[in-house]
């Protein structure tokens, strides 16, 4: 009799996570359908329509960051940097093949290139960074993000008949032939990237990101990563290779941030690495989405990213106070969720509640 109960419990658990994940996918699809209906019936202002692709960018990068913050348990303040790598790598590719390749294939390849470039940089950054802990790790990821942005701002890249030319000084020192094409013009960035992305592609990419992240979490690898988060020493004692799994999680997270960058780059005709879009302030904004949506809660990240981007646009008068409100909510949330006193208080409340339920059961 009890054995039967066990099996049922085990199965219940599996189906519970699956159900939860399906709700998340469903929510995205439903939102997409609603937006499409609203757009076709003319209920969406052109301002909001212009924001649809950025929404998707934020959602993807927030989900990616949540993998690092919530699942790996390390604070990265450099995800804007990985986004930047994905954006520039893919934009350069698309610009170079603008005339010679059909749009669909070009974007698909750009996506692969952006994700791979960000993954590579994430892997290289991760090797030294993941040896550090806590605050140091956070500040070093911030440093790496700034370095990436700085280097891209100083980078000149061009292509002509004799191949790729590259310089860290100025456009002239590229020594290009007359017919050459400038790909990256230092601080002026990349101009003329084909607008290959749209809202539908964005939503598909969100779904792909979710598929990767949710399956990652609910797999052997994900469990290993979470065990390191919960107790590194215990994880080592049961044979988990801490460095390996940290690197895997960080690389996957960086490459998904790169995907967000690809989407971002192909929605603009001019791509610059400004503090506003790829600086640490952007990394912090993404962190705000993750924290307010709930650390480790993937669905929460999606909702927070959309709501927090949408809200100030809807309530125009509020926009001056938007960042201030974010800041206050962020502080309040952290204190409420993490303060030892608040945790104790919640635990006691919960115990009382559960205790009552148990008593009722027995009665």
Partner 1 sequence: MNTAVHFTAASETIVWRIGMSFVAHLINGISLGSVYALIALGYTMVYGIAKMLNFAHGDVIMIGGYVVFVTVSGMGLNPLASIIISMAVCTVLGVTIERVAYRPLRGASPLAVLITAIGVSYFLQNVALLVFGSDTKAFTNVVTLPNLELFDGQLVIKSVTIVTVIVSIIIMVGLSLFVKKTKIGRAMTAVSEDKGAAQLMGINVNGTIAVTFAIGSSLAAVAGVLLCSAYPSLTPYTGSMPGIKAFVAAVFGGIGSIPGAFIGGILLGVIENLSKAYISSQLADAIVFSILIIVLLVKPTGLLGKKIQEKV
Partner 2 sequence: MALLEVKNLGISFGGLRAVNAFNITIEKGQLYGLIGPNGAGKTTIFNLLTGVYQPDEGSIILDGVNVTGKRTIDICKAGIARTFQNIRLFGDMPVLDNVKVGLHNHYPYSTLEGILRLPRYFKVEKEMNERAMELLKVFGLEEYADYKAENLPYGQQRKLEIARAMATAPKLLLLDEPAAGMNPNETKELMDTIQFVRDHFDMTILLIEHDMKLVSGICEKLTVLNFGEVLAQGETQEVLNNPEVITAYLGE
144 binds, among partner 2, partner 1, none (CB under 5 to 8 A by kind): partner 1
10 binds, among partner 1, partner 2, none (CB under 5 to 8 A by kind): partner 2
Q: Which stretch binds partner 2 (CB under 8 A): 126-134, 220-228, 268-276, 314-322?
A: 220-228
Of the residues 14, 30, 315, 325, which one makes contact with partner 2 according to CB under 8 A: 14
151 binds partner 1 (CB under 8 A): yes
134 binds, among partner 1, partner 2, none (CB under 5 to 8 A by kind): partner 1
Contacts of 143 (CB under 8 A, 6+ apart): 78
Contacts of 27 (CB under 8 A, 6+ apart): 299, 302
Q: Considering the complex, state which of residue 32 and residue 156 has its C-beta at the smaller distance from partner 1.
A: 156
From residue 62, give the alpha-carbon distance in Å to each of 40, 183, 240, 351. Answer: 28, 29, 27, 33
Which residues, numbered 278-307, are part of the site for partner 2 (CB under 8 A)? 296
Asked whether the beta carbons of 253 and 64 are under 8 A apart, the reply is yes
Q: Read off the tokens for 89.
A: 């790598």
How many amino acids of this chain bind partner 1 (CB under 8 A)?
A: 49
Among residues 293, 320, 294, which one has the least CA distance to residue 307? 293
CB of 67 to partner 2, least distance (A): 12
Which residues, numbered 16-75, are part of the site for partner 1 (CB under 8 A)? 69, 73-75
Residue with tokens 């699956």: 18
> What is the C-alpha to C-alpha distance for residues 80 and 283, in angstroms, rounded to an integer?
5
Q: Read off the tokens for 28.
A: 């995205």
139 binds, among partner 1, partner 2, none (CB under 5 to 8 A by kind): partner 1
Q: Read off the tokens for 74.
A: 């390390």
Of the residues 1, 47, 172, 238, which one makes contact with partner 2 according to CB under 8 A: 238
Q: Which stretch binds partner 1 (CB under 8 A): 103-111, 192-200, 203-211, 338-346?
A: 338-346
Q: Which bin fits 104, alpha (ψ -120 to 50), beta or left (φ > 0)?
A: alpha
Q: Considering the complex, state which of residue 146 and residue 196 has its C-beta at the smaller distance from partner 1.
A: 146
CB of 188 to partner 2, least distance (A): 38
Task: Tell me 214's DSSP state.
Answer: H
Q: Read off the tokens for 56.
A: 């998707």
Asked whether the beta carbons of 260 and 57 are under 8 A apart, the reply is yes
H-helix or E-strand spanning residue 153: helix 134-153
Asked whether the beta carbons of 117 and 86 are under 8 A apart, the reply is yes
How many amino acids of this chain bind partner 2 (CB under 8 A)?
A: 36
216 binds, among partner 1, partner 2, none (CB under 5 to 8 A by kind): partner 2
Asked whether the beta carbons of 24 and 299 are under 8 A apart, the reply is yes
Which residues, numbered 187-216, are part of the site for partner 2 (CB under 8 A)? 211-212, 215-216
Of the residues 44, 139, 240, 274, which one makes contact with partner 2 according to CB under 8 A: 240
75 binds, among partner 2, partner 1, none (CB under 5 to 8 A by kind): partner 1
The pairing of strands 163-167 and 181-185 is unpaired
Q: What are phi and psi of 342, to 5 degrees?
A: -65, -40
Asked whether the beta carbons of 248 and 221 are under 8 A apart, the reply is yes
Interface positions with partner 1 (CB under 8 A): 69, 73-75, 128, 131-132, 134-136, 138-140, 142-144, 146-147, 150-151, 153-154, 168-169, 186-187, 233, 280, 284, 287-288, 291, 320-321, 323-324, 326-328, 330-331, 334-335, 337-342
Interface positions with partner 2 (CB under 8 A): 2, 5-7, 9-10, 12-14, 211-212, 215-216, 219-224, 226-227, 229-231, 233-242, 248, 296
């Amino acid at each position: 009799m009890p054995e039967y109960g066990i099996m049922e419990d085990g199965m219940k658990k599996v189906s519970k996570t699956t159900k939860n994940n399906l709700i998340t996918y469903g929510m995205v699809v439903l939102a997409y359908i609603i937006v499409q209906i609203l757009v076709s019936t003319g209920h969406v202002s052109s301002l909001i329509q212009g924001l649809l692709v950025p929404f998707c960018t934020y959602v993807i990068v927030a989900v990616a960051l949540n993998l690092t913050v919530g699942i790996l348990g390390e604070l990265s303040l450099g995800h804007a940097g990985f986004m930047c790598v994905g954006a520039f790598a893919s934009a350069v590719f698309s610009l170079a093949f603008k005339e010679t390749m059909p749009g669909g294939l070009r974007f698909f390849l750009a996506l692969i290139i952006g994700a791979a470039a960000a993954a590579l940089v994430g892997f290289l950054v991760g090797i030294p960074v993941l040896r550090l802990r806590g605050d140091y790790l956070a500040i070093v990821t911030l440093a790496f993000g700034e370095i990436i942005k700085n280097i891209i701002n100083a980078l000149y890249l061009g292509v002509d008949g004799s191949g790729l030319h590259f310089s860290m000084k100025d456009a002239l020192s590229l020594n290009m032939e007359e017919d050459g094409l400038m790909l990256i013009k230092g601080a002026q960035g990349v101009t003329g990237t084909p607008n290959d992305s749209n809202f539908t592609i964005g939503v598909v990419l969100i779904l792909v990101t979710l598929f990767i992240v949710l399956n990652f979490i609910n797999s052997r690898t994900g469990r290993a990563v979470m065990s390191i988060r919960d107790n590194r020493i215990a994880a080592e004692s049961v044979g988990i290779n801490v460095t390996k799994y940290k690197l895997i999680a960080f690389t996957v997270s960086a490459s998904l941030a790169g995907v967000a960058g690809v989407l971002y780059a192909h929605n603009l005709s001019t791509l610059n690495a400004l503090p506003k879009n790829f600086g640490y302030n952007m990394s912090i904004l993404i962190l705000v989405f993750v924290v307010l949506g709930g650390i480790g809660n993937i669905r929460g990240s999606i909702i927070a990213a959309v709501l927090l981007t949408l809200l100030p646009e809807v309530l125009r008068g509020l926009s001056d106070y938007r960042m201030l409100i974010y800041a206050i909510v962020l502080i309040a949330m952290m204190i409420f969720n993490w303060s030892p006193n608040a945790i104790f208080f919640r635990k006691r409340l919960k115990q009382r509640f559960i205790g009552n339920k148990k008593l009722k059961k027995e009665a």
